[in-house]
A and B are shown apart, each in its own frame.
Chain A
Amino acid sequence: MTRERFEHLLADQLSGEITAQDREELDRLVAADPALRAELAEYERQEVDLQRYYHLRAERAAVGPESIQSPAQPHVRRRRPLAWGLAAASLAAAFIGGLLLVQLDRTHRPMGGQALARVDALEGDVLVLMQGSVRALAIGDQLARSERVKVGGNGYLALRLGDGNIIEARGNTRFAIEEYHDRLAVQLDHGQLWAHLGRKPDKRFVIETDRLRATATGTVFGVQDGLAGSIVAVAEGSVSVESGSQVLALKAGEAWGNPAGPTALAQDSIDWSQYAGSLLALRSTATDPPDVPLEVAGASLATQELTSETGDAPTISDLADLLPVQTRFFLDLRDWPGIVREFQSSAYAMLAREQALQKWWTAIHGQDLVNEIEREIHLREILAVAGAVSGRCIVGVFPQHFLLLADCRHNESEVAAALGGAMVSLTDGNLEAVSRLRERMFVIDGRLVVSSSPQIAAEVIGRLASGEPSGFTEQPFYGKVTNAIQQPRLLAAADLASVVDQWLEQDPSARPFLDFSGLGGLETIVISPSFAGRGINQAARLSFRDRRYGMMNWLAEPAPMHGFGFFSSDVHLFAAAIIRSPREMFFDLLGKLIAENDQRAQAEARAFFESRPALFDSIGDEIVLGVDNPILPLPNVKLVVELASPARFALELDALLADWILRQAEVGTLAERRIETSSGIEIHTLFVDGWVIQPSWAYVDEFLVAGPGPRFVRHSIDVMRSGATIDRHPRLRNLLPTAGTPHFSLMVYQDIARAIPELLRTAMPANLRNQVAETFPDLTFLERFHAAGIAYAQAAPDRIDLYLNSPTGIDFNLGMAGPLVARWIAPHTPIGQQIDQLAEATVALEDLAAAALAFQATSGRLPASLAELTEAGLITLAPSDPFADGRPLRLVTGPAPGTILIYSIGPDGIDDQGLLTFDPAGPTTGEGDLTIMLPSPDGTPPRLLTPLTDGS
């Protein structure tokens, strides 16, 4: 009975719906039985886990409690006039009652020793979660230990601790405060906190995340935790950070992250604080170099030490001063070891550890391939030296040569040893060759110098001796680079103006292309992973010498984008652009589409469209093209065009179509425009005899929505009406740099990898699927790596800034690299080779069959041997059989009189005289010969015979 009662009370308690009387009874039961007490504690821990787990899951879809209205309360209530009086009275009563309840409530909250903090300031939604119950915090409220605080997305919270110190929490932060005998610990689940410990804390003060623990006495510091990692930043005083086996000390102005994060206090980590002014002031005074770490804790600490700029140590500009003035490409790896660490913890590294991928790699002997590449490009030696370098590294590339400079002040001997070992390996121990290499690869004054030219390397020695800079940093190119980005971690830049000028000098015929594309006006490109604001992981700036022109001028300055509101949340790809002049863009394209030498056709087409000015004048500036589902047999391609004047556009298009349909009728082609209505909107469809797709379109608000059939347009309208659109979905929203309607010149959204496994399953021929499954990895693991990503551009008159934002950073890159890798790897796989051989044999057989038919046309009979074809000059050499070690394809008499068989012995390597035929739909290693019979049994053009299915 006690057990049943306990469970009943426990169920109520955990549901947060227990009465005070039942709570007392539960307390009595657990007080009397330690086992029940332990069980209750365990369920309470589980309660916190459940809240945390579902909170994480709800966050993904942004349908958490703060964004949801209770189902019992409709979102909008329209009161009837008579109800207003009652409503006002109820409101007043509720207000007074509420005040009383608040007072009563406060008297029942934990006080004294249990209250750890008091709310000093608060904005937005701030909730306290405890044992299944939720309450909203207000200014003056107290917070007890273990109470989990959740600051909503729009919120802010400042808590004053018992000792007078302050903790600030940013929006989207969740934490709890625990008190132990030796410390006060803030457990940060996620989000960002600043601790202002101006007064001496009563106890040791600690902020803990899953990845690190930051301990401070008398300091101002912040901790941020998110899915990407934890970061500690210090504004004043010092903080000891423990993370795994690492322990290090951070001083004012420094930051440290696990995984590798910023090494300096970042502006955006300060902006939200109400003490931002004083934090900024503290940051500006924090110019002392960081301390040597408490304990040696891996390469990360060495990096931090090296990135400081003190005394006469080479700074980035010092290193850049050594680059020749003619440098055209410039790579700056400011935090080389940090970049390596970041890569090691990236999705790429995780992908490489995938068992399915490793199995496949072994199956295709991938390691042999790597070994070959290593030997070919001396990768092993390069990696040995690169691994030893732990400071900044810059590379300059100029006509015909390059110069690499690396900072190795702190491990000069180690780098010198690695370089020596690499040189011995490169030269197979030939000392004379080593001495030649030493002329262009050496360590001097704490700098590693590697160049393709001994003269350039010698110039570096001279500059180091004289202290005279090369003048590169005074060049306009370098000025552009440093203006585009300050203090980069990784930066690559190219002087495109010089490249374009050189190109034109060598090939003046490139001028029309450069004029049309506008590439001729390019000046520089600067690429950096930390180029701009929130959530951006790659960015680039294209600068122009003057104003943009040609294709480069198609993009207008950023403007609000609304057109993708017609795409559902499962859209796989779309591109939206704000076009400066649709008319000019159209005529530019027209000029390219119609052969350039056909001046008359161009003039006619131009005259035709120019005679309908309303068509272009009524087009707005936003154009969106998207694909909703690339797996469907007919991809759901949609075009959305903003219209400045939908009525004018419709009128003009109708006239144009009527004219066109009439002309089609004149040439005997049936064409018809049909109109159907869906949800009060007319959907127009053009049916043309012989066309596979029927273009459909509709005018919705100020947009033209078009697709490859009426159902696609109908779907777009349904999606738009339902509001379940991609622009409302977190998949896209979370990628945007700011809330609200995006303002871009160009935006490309992709979620393609989501479709890859399905695409492979459905697109792969059935006969190959099982074979491929044995050799290739099960690509379903990609489902765990995929993430939507966006690329967008913001154009200005003389530049275009490009950004790429993908949470894992893998999608776009995978998408771009995939086809290249496939082309490179496929021929090295057994299946790839077999497919190649089959294709080669089939093409050779078809060529031979064509020659035999040509022979028949001239001599009235089919050839009796390959020699006859050679003698007739129809083939120069008997074509070889790829499955027969270079021996030729066979030509023999066929089974029926007057027929011949030409065949390859097939992948099994057995000559079946062309009688047992290979099944092209079966395994690539199947039995039988690849055979063509002439003349074809059914009178069709020659093709490979297929096996008989009745077994005869």
Chain B
Amino acid sequence: MTDQLDHLMEQARQGDRDACWRLIGPHRGLVYATAFGMLKNIEQAEDLLHEVLVQATASIGGLRNPSRLPGWLHTMTRNMAMDLIRREQRRRQAHAGAARQATVLPVADWTEKEHWLVTMEEAIHELPEPFRVVLALKYMNDYSCAQIAGILDLSVPAVKSRLFEARKLLRKKTAALAQARELDHHDTRTI
């Protein structure tokens, strides 16, 4: 298998677009999950996915060991996402006067599905970044713990532990958010 990967890599280095796509294309899910886990925004994650694919295609020649491709892509995505986050922070500081307001619809207009989706979204977004990334890799791609361990350069038990800690924290946060919403809804009704 290594020979085949090497062969594809050689073709990619010579500018073979198909070879590049065969190498990188299957890992779109990995890139998207990492990007979404870090950026917490679908649009930005979609944009980053494509930026990473462009960047990866341009610089794949620098990858020495093709079997490290998933980890390499994960690191690249992570670095580019961090750049984006930093840029965003600078921009927000520069335009503090026009800070973004909470993007929440009037609660009374939500459907049950929207309630559920917003609660999940808020709770997941409040999780620490490593938890968000591991959850995204697991549930967006159905990666096994061993595959995630390979991508994140962790041991399998560490991945399992991180996943479980993420679930525990998520459980607490969803419960707290649901309670807050219930109170909010109650307040709305009594006003």
Closest CB of chain B to A678's CB: distance in Å? 10
| Residues 102-146 of B at the A interface (beta carbon under 8 Å) | 103, 105-106, 109, 111-113, 116-117, 120-121, 124, 135-136, 138-145
Q: Mark A661-699, 1 if CB is under 8 A from B, else 0.
A: 000000000000000000110000000000000000000
Known: A54-B135, A570-B47. A63 touches B22 (CB 8 A): no
Q: Is the CB of B43 within 8 A of A210?
A: no
- In the assembled complex, B81 has its CB within 8 A of some CB on chain A: no
Which residues of A lie under 8 Å from residue B138 when comparing CB positions?
15
Known: A51-B139, A724-B53. A71 touches B26 (CB 8 A): yes
Q: Is the CB of A71 within 8 A of B147?
A: yes
Residue in B15, B111, B160 whose beta carbon sits within 8 Å of that of A211 in the complex: B111
Closest CB of chain B to A576's CB: distance in Å? 19
Q: Kindly report which residue of chain A lies nearest to residue B111, judged by CB atoms.
A: A210
Q: Is the CB of B42 within 8 A of A61?
A: yes
Closest 7 CB pairs of A and B: A69-B26, A54-B139, A68-B29, A722-B57, A11-B164, A210-B113, A724-B50
- In the assembled complex, A3 has its CB within 8 A of some CB on chain B: no
Q: Is the CB of A17 within 8 A of B145?
A: yes
| Residues 718-775 of A at the B interface (beta carbon under 8 Å) | 718-724, 729-731, 754, 761, 769-770, 773
Query: In the docked arrangement, what's the CA distance between A61 and B50, Å?
Result: 11
Main secondary structure of the interface of B (DSSP, over half): helix
Give the interface of A toward B (CB within 8 A): 7, 10-12, 14-15, 17, 42-43, 46, 49-51, 53-58, 60-61, 63-65, 67-78, 80, 134, 210-211, 350, 353, 355-356, 568-570, 679-680, 718-724, 729-731, 754, 761, 769-770, 773, 778, 780-781, 783-784
Query: In the docked arrangement, what's the CA distance between A680 and B58, Å?
Result: 13
- Chosen A-B contacts, 24 in total, with CB atoms closer than 8 Å, are A12-B160, A43-B167, A43-B171, A53-B117, A53-B120, A54-B135, A56-B117, A58-B141, A63-B28, A64-B140, A68-B28, A70-B147, A74-B1, A76-B22, A569-B50, A570-B50, A721-B57, A722-B20, A722-B53, A723-B20, A724-B50, A724-B54, A761-B91, A769-B95
Known: A7-B164, A58-B32. A77 touches B116 (CB 8 A): no
Q: Is the CB of B135 within 8 A of A80?
A: no
Residue in A63, A77, A781 whose beta carbon sits within 8 Å of that of B101 in the complex: A781
Closest CB of chain A to B176's CB: distance in Å? 14
Query: In the docked arrangement, what's the CA distance between A75 and B21, Å?
Result: 9
Main secondary structure of the interface of A (DSSP, over half): helix
Which residues of A lie under 8 Å from residue B140 when comparing CB positions?
54, 57-58, 63-65
Closest CB of chain A to B59's CB: distance in Å? 11
Q: Is the CB of B46 within 8 A of A67?
A: no
Q: Kindly report which residue of chain B lies nearest to residue A72, judged by CB atoms.
A: B147
Query: In the docked arrangement, what's the CA distance between A679 and B17, Å?
Result: 11
Q: What would 14 more interface pairs be, CB under 8 Å, given A63-B29, A722-B57, A723-B53?
A: A14-B167, A17-B144, A43-B167, A57-B42, A58-B32, A58-B141, A63-B141, A67-B28, A71-B69, A76-B22, A350-B109, A721-B15, A729-B46, A769-B98
Closest CB of chain A to B16's CB: distance in Å? 9
Q: Is the CB of B124 within 8 A of A53?
A: yes
Which residues of A lie under 8 Å from residue B117 when comparing CB positions?
53, 56
- In the assembled complex, B190 has its CB within 8 A of some CB on chain A: no
- In the assembled complex, B38 has its CB within 8 A of some CB on chain A: no
- In the assembled complex, B7 has its CB within 8 A of some CB on chain A: yes
Q: Is the CB of B98 within 8 A of A718?
A: no
Residue in B4, B54, B143, B171 whose beta carbon sits within 8 Å of that of A42 in the complex: B171
Query: In the docked arrangement, what's the CA distance between A729 and B49, Å?
Result: 10
Which residues of A lie under 8 Å from residue B49 when comparing CB positions?
61, 63, 724
Query: In the docked arrangement, what's the CA distance between A718 and B143, Å?
Result: 30
Which residues of A lie under 8 Å from residue B69 when comparing CB positions?
71
Residue in B26, B29, B30, B174 whose beta carbon sits within 8 Å of that of A75 in the complex: B26
Q: Kindly report which residue of chain A lies nearest to residue B49, judged by CB atoms.
A: A61
Q: Is the CB of B4 within 8 A of A77?
A: yes
Q: Is the CB of B28 within 8 A of A11?
A: no
Which residues of A lie under 8 Å from residue B51 when comparing CB positions?
724
Which residues of B lie under 8 Å from residue A7 when comparing CB positions?
164
Q: Is the CB of B25 within 8 A of A723?
A: yes
Q: Kindly report which residue of chain B lies nearest to residue A719, judged by CB atoms.
A: B54
Q: Is the CB of A74 within 8 A of B120?
A: no
Which residues of B lie under 8 Å from residue A134 when comparing CB positions?
142
Residue in A14, A356, A723 whose beta carbon sits within 8 Å of that of B163 in the complex: A14
- In the assembled complex, B62 has its CB within 8 A of some CB on chain A: no
Residue in B32, B58, B116, B167 whose beta carbon sits within 8 Å of that of A61 in the complex: B32
Q: Is the CB of B163 within 8 A of A11?
A: yes
Q: Is the CB of A723 within 8 A of B21?
A: yes
Which residues of A lie under 8 Å from residue B95 when comparing CB positions?
761, 769
Q: Is the CB of A568 within 8 A of B151?
A: no
Which residues of A lie under 8 Å from residue B65 when comparing CB positions?
none
Query: In the docked arrangement, what's the CA distance between A356 and B95, Å?
Result: 17
Which residues of B lie under 8 Å from residue A356 when comparing CB positions?
101
Q: Kindly report which residue of chain A lies nearest to residue B94, judged by CB atoms.
A: A761
Which of A15, A64, A729 is most buried by chain B, counting CB atoms within 10 A of its CB?
A15
Query: In the docked arrangement, what's the CA distance between A51 and B121, Å?
Result: 13
Q: Is the CB of B145 within 8 A of A778?
A: no
Which residues of B lie under 8 Å from residue A350 when comparing CB positions?
105, 109
Closest CB of chain A to B110's CB: distance in Å? 11
Which residues of A lie under 8 Å from residue B100 when comparing CB positions?
778, 780
Q: Is the CB of B147 within 8 A of A781?
A: no
Query: In the docked arrangement, what's the CA distance between A724 and B135, Å?
Result: 25
Closest CB of chain A to B91's CB: distance in Å? 8
Known: A11-B163, A350-B105. A71 touches B27 (CB 8 A): yes
Q: Is the CB of A731 within 8 A of B46?
A: yes
Q: Is the CB of B32 within 8 A of A63?
A: yes
Known: A14-B167, A78-B7, A769-B98. A49 touches B142 (CB 8 A): no
Query: In the docked arrangement, what's the CA distance between A50 and B123, Å?
Result: 11
Closest CB of chain A to B71's CB: distance in Å? 9
Query: In the docked arrangement, what's the CA distance between A723 and B30, Å?
Result: 17
Q: Is the CB of B144 within 8 A of A68?
A: no
Closest CB of chain A to B85's CB: distance in Å? 16
Closest CB of chain A to B123's CB: distance in Å? 10
Which residues of A lie under 8 Å from residue B161 when comparing CB positions?
11
Q: Is the CB of A15 within 8 A of B5?
A: no
Query: In the docked arrangement, what's the CA distance between A350 and B53, Å?
Result: 35
Which of A14, A17, A54, A56 is most buried by chain B, counting CB atoms within 10 A of its CB?
A54
Residue in B30, B54, B116 whose beta carbon sits within 8 Å of that of A568 in the complex: B54
Q: Is the CB of B50 within 8 A of A680?
A: no
Query: In the docked arrangement, what's the CA distance between A63 and B163, Å?
Result: 21
Which residues of A lie under 8 Å from residue B45 when comparing CB positions?
61
Which residues of B lie under 8 Å from residue A773 when comparing CB positions?
97-98
Closest CB of chain B to A699's CB: distance in Å? 16
Which residues of B lie under 8 Å from residue A723 when comparing CB positions?
17, 20-21, 25, 53, 57
Query: In the docked arrangement, what's the CA distance between A70 and B15, Å?
Result: 24
Query: In the docked arrangement, what's the CA distance between A63 and B136, Å?
Result: 12
Query: In the docked arrangement, what's the CA distance between A720 and B29, Å?
Result: 20
Closest CB of chain B to A677's CB: distance in Å? 12
Query: In the docked arrangement, what's the CA distance between A80 and B1, Å?
Result: 10
Query: In the docked arrangement, what's the CA distance between A75 and B66, Å?
Result: 13
Which residues of B lie under 8 Å from residue A67 when comparing CB positions?
28-29
Closest CB of chain A to B117's CB: distance in Å? 7
Closest CB of chain A to B141's CB: distance in Å? 6
Query: In the docked arrangement, what's the CA distance between A570 and B56, Å?
Result: 17
Query: In the docked arrangement, what's the CA distance between A724 and B111, Å?
Result: 35
Q: Is the CB of A781 within 8 A of B5?
A: no
Closest CB of chain A to B66's CB: distance in Å? 9
Which residues of B lie under 8 Å from residue A569 when comparing CB positions?
46-47, 50
